[in-house]
């Protein structure tokens, strides 16, 4: 006997987020999503690593947490101990590290441990969209600090902290992406990191340091992590293998004192992050990480150059940008009359996806004609073609860039 | 200049769960945790699968969601479509399936989509501990329905539903583990599933069907899933590869109407579950699942026999149990004077870990002298030795079982 289909809607909680739409695939010219360069995935090396580690330790898959417990595959943590010391000057042990299912889980665990609805946190005015959407959903106020070419402005931070203190608000953390900032691509120099730490200690506000893009630096040189400079603790440091190896693996990590880790472990009720990726990454990275990453960054640098050339060719002076120090994205300013939220819609209809600035900023006025473009995933040809299409769309919608008669639009 | 270490504690929200303790490894005789039999992990097959799928599709790791989007690796969903039809009589398409990071994530997503603090749900009186702890943390009332040898008692369910209706409470779902019930090991026959569905439809309460153990049935025969019998929808069906292949992989799935899936997708903000496990599982399972599982269940059945023999030998009539129809755990009743929460502590000190009944039941009185023993992970020798140690501990603490003079305690 047929019955009317069951209606779940009356059961939904009042604050349930809107439903997702059906997935329709990536745009033809996709400049979003932090996807990486498929040509640079070290497939052979990962395959050899998978074979070796499975043959040696495949039996341990029968046990939740393998033989390593809830903090994650021990050899991966040991790789990270050495890597973090070498690259970021962080001195820690495997017991100070928690492997998570991508840095997104790190964000969630830190937030669950520290935040309640109505709390306040400090962020860079332009910052990672995923962080902003999480804070909004949690009902947490994000105070944005303006940036310059060296990252978060310390004078503005001091000002904001004093203002909050006057209003009797104790912010729960200062969230910073100091090493290849997302989206602006800057690197905060050591002196400024020290000043940031000083303010953090004075005001008793911990620092939440997100180093997810820190491996992808063109000249390979970076200041010590804020975590490394902090003699008094008070820093939670997170990172990821998504940008250095591959995003679909979903492996990130947290370095934090046991006071924090023990709380996050109690909240990480997933019976462990995926074991196979951890095993394969440890097996691959130990011998190959330090040779793989420079190759990857060389390829990414070449794509950045293609993107900047294409923007110059298509937009001329209408597009302003500074070359990032590394990473997979470029932050661009278009003329003030360009509303990049509208540009996003029009471009999508033409097969080009971009990240509109307001989704990556706490300051709508400042970001309204800015946008973020990821360049790792599209090919060189797709970058050139996509930017040409974007310029055409922008011209139609906003009258800029003006048509440049003597530029041949290459549609290779 | 050294500063006092930063103190995070003043920043913690009031309701933060207690911190986790440092991991100390598994007990010498570990009868907990749903771990699987290491001898039965199909290491060679998984290795071959990893090699094949990486060589063919490794490049796609550069993209979040691979080429399949947020519902998970399409070939794995297609494998599940065929498997679910063949084994559980479920007719669905790949679009009706969401791959998740283990069935624990399925529990979390369903709960986030349907539950608010103060809500009520219906569960089997004895049920999966992970479900109970989640509901407690969410502030949701779990009404437990007594079980018999065929699962949830329908008369008791009808009673509970009427009682809730009288009190103007609309329960959000009926959570059932009908196919190898955890912890009791029963299988709900088809006729009872139909009655359950009828009550569900009459009262407008959806069914949340957890089929995580349904592959491990000794005689390989099982009734159609409740999801398959429901002509009017209203059933959310979940499953997992943890018991059929390996738990550390962290791969589960949800089958549900788009009205529910679209909401869960909006909440699944992890940028996808681990891709490598999904790829390897699809590659391995397509050719090998139907030959692997009977081998696995044969091995598990043999361990069950060893466990039951050991209990008979060591506990005699003090231990009552019914052989489960499949699975990896046995539900045991000890004499009424045995407090299994206390037994748990004493046994742990002696190197034996067990699951005390009250952690697996909504009825403290009923479960106070019951316990769950997982038998997949320990070896046959460890099962025998562990049960001997447990009997000794139980005798010391509670005076039962009485010493059986003519039984030699084999410590092989």
ipTM associated with this complex: 0.94
Report whether pLDDT(B409) > 70.
no
**Nearest chain A residue (CA) to B105:** A270
How far away is chain A from the Cα of B101, in angstroms, using its nearest Cα? 8
State the pairing for strand pair B355-356/B370-374: antiparallel
Report whether pLDDT(B122) > 80.
yes
pLDDT at B99: 98
pLDDT at B29: 97
Report whether pLDDT(B411) > 60.
no
Report whether pLDDT(B271) > 50.
yes
* Rounded Cα gap, residues A134 and A97, in angstroms: 23
Tokens of B58: 């490794």
* Rounded Cα gap, residues B110 and B264, in angstroms: 7
How far away is chain B from the Cα of A339, in angstroms, using its nearest Cα? 27
Give the pLDDT of chain A (412 residues) as one tens digit per residue: 455 789 999 999 999 999 999 999 999 999 999 999 999 999 999 999 999 999 999 999 999 999 999 999 999 999 999 999 999 999 999 999 999 999 999 999 999 999 999 999 999 999 999 999 999 999 999 999 999 999 999 999 999 999 999 999 999 999 999 999 999 999 999 999 999 999 999 999 999 999 999 999 999 999 999 999 998 899 999 999 999 999 999 999 999 999 999 999 999 999 999 999 999 999 999 999 999 999 999 999 999 999 999 999 999 999 999 999 999 999 999 999 999 999 999 999 999 999 999 999 999 999 999 999 999 999 999 999 999 999 999 999 999 998 764 455 444 4
B129 touches chain A (CB under 8 A): no
Q: Does the model's pTM come out above 0.90? A: yes
Report whether pLDDT(B1) > 60.
no
Report the Cα A57 to chain-centroid distance in Å.
32
pLDDT at B126: 98
pLDDT at B134: 97
3-state secondary structure B237-259: EEEECCCCCCHHHCCEEEECCHH
pLDDT tens digits, residue range B150-176? 999 999 999 999 999 999 999 999 999
- Percentage above 90 pLDDT, chain B: 94
Report whether pLDDT(B336) > 60.
yes
Q: Which of B210, B275, B266 shows the shortest CA–CA distance to B76?
A: B275
Question: Is residue B285 very low, low, confident or very high in pLDDT (cuts 50, 70, 90)?
Answer: very high
B283 touches chain A (CB under 8 A): no
Considering Cα of B96, then B101, then B106, then B112, what sign does the dihedral take? Answer: negative
Rg (CA), chain B: 22
Question: How much is the mean pLDDT over chain B?
Answer: 95
Q: Which residues contact B132 (CB under 8 A, 6 or more apart)?
A: B123, B142, B359, B360, B362
Tracing tokens 């039962």 back to the chain, one arrives at: B400
Contact A55 B47 (CB under 8 A): yes
How far away is chain A from the Cα of B108, in angstroms, using its nearest Cα? 9
pLDDT at B4: 76
Interface of A with B in 186-215 (CB under 8 A): 201, 204, 206
pLDDT at B237: 98
* Rounded Cα gap, residues B112 and B100, in angstroms: 14
Q: Confirm if A122 and A159 have CB atoms less than 8 A apart.
A: no
Whether the bond into A183 is cis, omega within 30 of 0: yes
Tokens of B144: 């437990």
Looking at the DSSP bridge assignments, the partners of residue B235 are B207
Q: Which residues contact B128 (CB under 8 A, 6 or more apart)?
A: B177, B182, B183, B210, B360
pLDDT at A4: 76
How far away is chain A from the Cα of B7, in angstroms, using its nearest Cα? 7
pLDDT at B406: 42
* Rounded Cα gap, residues B247 and A272, in angstroms: 9
pLDDT at B2: 52
Contact B8 A260 (CB under 8 A): yes
pLDDT at B232: 86
Nearest CB to A54: which of B5, B50, B274? B50
Question: Is residue B407 very low, low, confident or very high in pLDDT (cuts 50, 70, 90)?
Answer: low
pLDDT at A176: 98
The count of other CB atoms within 10 Å of the CB of residue A159 is 12
| CB contacts, 8 Å: B96 with chain A | none
B262 touches chain A (CB under 8 A): yes
Q: Is B208 helix (H, G, I), strand (E, B) or coil?
A: strand
| CB contacts, 8 Å: B5 with chain A | 232-234, 257
Tracing tokens 């369903």 back to the chain, one arrives at: B110
């Amino acid at each position: 006997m047929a019955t009317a289909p069951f209606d779940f809607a009356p059961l939904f909680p009042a604050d349930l987020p809107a439903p997702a739409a059906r997935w329709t695939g990536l745009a033809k010219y996709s400049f979003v999503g932090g996807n990486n360069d498929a040509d640079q995935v070290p497939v052979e090396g990962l395959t050899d690593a998978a074979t070796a580690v499975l043959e040696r330790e495949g039996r341990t898959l029968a046990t939740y947490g393998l033989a390593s417990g809830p903090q994650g595959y021990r050899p991966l943590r040991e790789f990270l101990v050495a890597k973090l010391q070498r690259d970021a000057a962080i001195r820690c042990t495997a017991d100070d590290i928690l492997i998570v299912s991508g840095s997104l889980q790190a964000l969630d665990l830190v937030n669950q441990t520290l935040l309640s609805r109505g709390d306040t946190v400090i962020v860079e005015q332009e910052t990672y969209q995923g962080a902003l959407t999480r804070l909004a959903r949690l009902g947490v106020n994000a105070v944005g600090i303006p940036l310059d070419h060296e990252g978060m402005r310390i004078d503005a931070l001091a000002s904001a902290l004093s203002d909050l203190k006057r209003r009797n608000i104790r912010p729960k953390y200062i969230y910073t992406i100091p090493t290849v900032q997302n989206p602006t691509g800057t690197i905060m120099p050591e002196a400024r990191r020290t000043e940031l730490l000083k303010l953090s200690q004075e005001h008793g506000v911990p620092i939440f340091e997100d180093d997810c893009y820190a491996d992808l630096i063109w000249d390979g040189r970076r200041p010590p992590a804020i975590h490394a400079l902090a003699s008094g603790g008070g820093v939670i440091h997170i990172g990821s293998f998504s940008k250095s190896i591959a995003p679909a693996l979903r492996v990130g990590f947290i370095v934090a004192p046991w006071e924090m880790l023990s709380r996050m472990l109690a909240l990480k009720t997933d019976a462990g992050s995926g074991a196979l990726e951890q095993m394969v990454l440890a097996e691959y990275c130990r011998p190959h990480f330090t040779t793989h990453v420079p190759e990857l960054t060389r390829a990414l640098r070449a794509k950045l150059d293609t993107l900047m050339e294409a923007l110059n060719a298509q937009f001329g002076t209408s597009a302003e940008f500074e070359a990032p120090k590394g990473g997979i994205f470029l932050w661009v300013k278009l003329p003030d009359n360009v509303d990049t939220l509208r540009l996003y819609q029009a471009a999508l209809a033409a097969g080009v996806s971009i990240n509109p600035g307001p989704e990556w900023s706490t300051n709508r006025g400042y970001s309204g004609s800015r946008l973020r473009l990821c360049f790792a995933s599209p090919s060189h040809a797709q970058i050139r073609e996509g930017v040409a299409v974007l310029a055409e769309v922008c011209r139609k919608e906003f009258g800029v860039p003006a048509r440049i008669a003597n530029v041949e639009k290459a549609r290779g």
